[in-house]
Structure 1
Amino acid sequence: MHSVNLLVTDRSPETAEHVNSLLRNSGIKIHVLFAKSSIEVKRALDADPPVLILYAKPEEADAPLTEVAELAAAFSVPVALYRGMDQPKKLASLLSETACFVINAEREDLLTDAVMRLITTSENERQQASQRQTLDELEHRYNLLLESARDAIAYVHEGLHVYANRAYLETLKITDDSELAGISLLEILKSEGTDLKKLLKGFGKGSFPSEPLEVQVTRPDGSEFEARLLFSPARFDGEDCTQMMLQRKDAANELAAELERMRSTDHLTQFHNRQAFADALENTMEEQSPDYVAAVLYIEPDGYEDLQDELDVASMDLLVSDLAALTRLNLDNDDLPARLNERGFAILARRPDSASLEALADKLLTAWRGHIIEIGDRAFSISCSIGLGKLGRLATNAPEVIAQARKAQAEAAENGDRFVVYRPQLTAVASIEGEQDWIERIKFALANQDFYSVQQTIVDLDGEGDQMVENTTFLRGEDNDHGPSEFLDAAARNDLAGNIDRYIIPGLLKTFAD
């Protein structure tokens, strides 16, 4: 149970101690506080409002009853005079100044009964507040679902519209719901063999048709279409009404397309879901072309766990939806975004070269960093960490590419607000495992243009003979680059040296030709 306080105002703490002992002995768990002045009363109210203020016999100059009552009223806390009945004139004088309760100090049972009732009331109010918050969150979610639903739904009362979702407005080719105001269902609906006026009157008596009603619908612009209507009882803004779902007869194909969209789409972000993204990624890997470089960018907000502790479920949904919209705004039309899990987005992107993919990651970092999120009365910004896993010979399937991007993101998240490109870890060639690490890294470098060469002119000190140039090939690493002495032996042992030459030599020839 939530901790409960009772405040005693008196010139000394003796009354508070007596009340505390009395309530404890009666089995009532309550924290009794003492206040000598109005200032102390205000301080106690600000800290944690009590269920009751007992006004005993404080110095009137320090804690006037009228002042204490005004302070208590601001926090909706009741005040009770706590004294004997031996001074009726004094009691009447106090009550003439301020209306409040009176508890006979000579009747201990009156105090215990009053405190128990107030504790019960306080606990009920706290539970009601919690239930009201839960109900508000449920209503918020329901309204979001209703507004984003593809089913055309309207609430009607006495033949008039009181609410219509976006799909209903689109079906009637209406841009603003205010255009529905004053339009009766009798004006837009026609039905063979059904008295619509009688049908609408029956809704108020709880009489609803058990089967869909076949109707001809006339839009405000004069165009018509055939539809089925399904009716059911509902409530809107606390009032009884009727829910009407409108289904176009020609909507079978649209429904099939919508079902497919729902099957492959995350409902909150409207991004692809994990399975649909993996399928699209597999197709891209099969159709990969040398004309572009493709990669998966995996994004997670920094400090997500802290936000989960601070925000309720509805606010977290708004946060994810807002970040998804921000991410989509910074993508090309051909990019494919997805929501892989509760906190992570993935993007399948294709660009002319690796530098363009890294530029996309940097663009997303900047966009997230500078975006202000407003939820309720809170406004804040949040950064992200991005892992970039490129499609190539080192990844044989979609789960592997996604895993590489997530591994790179985990590394980026160590410091936050940055991106990391996945590269296989390199180890010294002292074992079979180390040799395999170099093989994978060399293959990755060939696929991702991580080899480069440096030319140095060899000068003949005698000034005679032809000019000679020494060429040295390097492999880009995460922290520093690797010279040929580190990787060339492993490449030669595994028939990869020729691949490196075929990658480097065309560039050398072009350099010499220029």
Structure 2
Amino acid sequence: MRTQSILNLLVIDDDQLYAERLVHLLGCYYDSVNLGFLDDKEELLKLLRQPWDVLVFGNAYDMNFTDVVGIVQEQNIDLPMICLLNEEMVATAHNNEGLPNIISGTMVKALKVDEEMAVVMSICLQHDNLRSRRELKTLRHVLSEAEQRANVLIKNSKSAVAYIDQGIHIFANDPYLQLFGFASMSDAIGVPIIDLIAGGDNVKGFKQFLRQFAKGNRQEVEFKFESLRTDGSTFEAKLQLAAATLEGEPVTQVIIQQNNSNSTEVAKRLAAAECKDSLTGINNRRGFEEKMAVIYQQARQGELTAGLLYVQLDNIGKIRSSLGLQGLDATVKQVAYALDELVVDGHVSRFSDTAFTILVEDKTTAELKTLAEQIGSRINGMLIEVDKRTTSTTVSIGIVKIEKNTAEPSVLLERAMDAINQIMMETANNGATYHLYDPSEHANSDDHALAESLIEAITNNRFELTFQPIYDINNDRSDFFEVYLRLPLSDAENTVLTPDQFMAVAKKHKLLEKMDRWVLINACRKVNDVRKTHPEAKLLVQLTSASLIDKKLSSVASQLIKAVGGAAGVLTLQFNEKDIADHLTVAKTQFAALSQAGCQMGINNFGSSAKSIEIASFVQPDMVRLPRSYVEDIDSAENLETVKSLIIRTNEVNVDVLMPYIEDAATMSVAWSVGARYLQGYYLEEPRKIMKVAT
């Protein structure tokens, strides 16, 4: 009965060890069991404000099972309940056969407390029943809303549509009434649909067609016939049937098409329009997916080879900050026009707000790289006019080949995006704008070997940590350190891998959470030693998306903070802005829990999306760290104003800003003036294996 799910279990009892035992047993059937434990009425009323899946009642301080049932019913909560009895109470709570008095989809009364397997099975079955009820409720709501939308569309549709029940009209829209000459709805209601069919053979054939449809036959849903208007005139038409609901009751939907060729042409035009992007006029994501499906099938059959280029705009956050939505739209349109003009023998689509996809056929690896270079050069050289102002942008391009033994389209897209991430993670890409995903670099043998090295490094503490100080302008001190993870390999070259070289494998083998935990624990050990001589020393630790959704993280962080002295702010946990945007609601809850545990919270690569300020306002971090793109070319007046604008807006929501990548004196001199609280970079000090506090 293994289910990939979570159980929220509420136990009312005076024996917490028994509750923990139930959680342990239920762990065989659930990915996670969240336990709520209490034994008094006041606490029950508080906990019922949270969502629970099953309630187990044993012994309570000031309640019996009847009281609990009454409270749950008063709150109008659909919550399955199980009553547990000891040996003394069993005789009065069971029938003559020794079975519980009540077993239903919402209650079991009562089970023997020491028969743990019966209790566990009852919990699982009650939960399964609850999920079915919830799904049924959701489906009914969805059906109701779908019916409402359908009725609105039908009433406003130009197509002739009616509903019939057992062959009798019960509803018709205006085009249907006009088509057959009815003056009003009341004239059509109650009229058999066969009265609108001319000719005995047509009527006989339609009756047979209608009977087959009523029996569930959906192979034929169209019927061509000669229609009969109320004035006696006739016309050629095609009728289409579909199952539908009206006010929750099953009916049959009838659509009449008077001119088949015209309606087919309209359908084609609508289908084409659905595949076009309204802003740029090129294909949208749906258009790309349809073309991708065709090329994928042809490649799998060996009919062609192809290439997928995923083109991501780089500095959207800066454009959004300086020029607003108008500048963003203008940039996207100009890039779309340039790509469409440049790729004459391919298919260009707008995949998302700020990303494009390009499909090209029969290109060699060298030709794909050349095309990527041409695109990067063309976009980099564009000057985009926005209301008497000029902006520019660059792109990162992920390349994937589509061949006979290629992976599925969804996997190819992930590989293209991984190639983009590879570009973004490189600390110095020497001007490279593209990265080709090479499957040979991710072969199973190398993949597993690296995964084994990662596991061995976690188990035997073979990772290395380096620490780079951060200067705090407000307090004029440099005892705040960012932590970096490294993996030394035992090869002849003494290779040391950085996260961009092993994170993809770690993610595939589900090692991210364990690596994050290793970094946290060992970094805190290091800072604990330093705090003996420098009691104000503190850490900034970058964590992955696996930790962002880890419910146990706040508890771990709280223990580590206490272990290093319990000082508020000694530990700042930082997450990537993209990960936060992908798990926004979860991130808000996690940030709140970690703040409650005494952690400071940070966002890395802040400003890399168009909604950075909104994200910061929502999750409420203590600080944010700018991406490299904001610091590069900061000596230009426009870039400097963009950075200042972002920092001002960030400070307005009570968030401090860390300006990293200060690599030279010129950048350092400018950094003082932009309003950032924290400064960091090789010009100040490079990362070291030890934490050196400047005096």
TM-score, normalization: structure 1? 0.43
TM-score, normalization: structure 2? 0.33
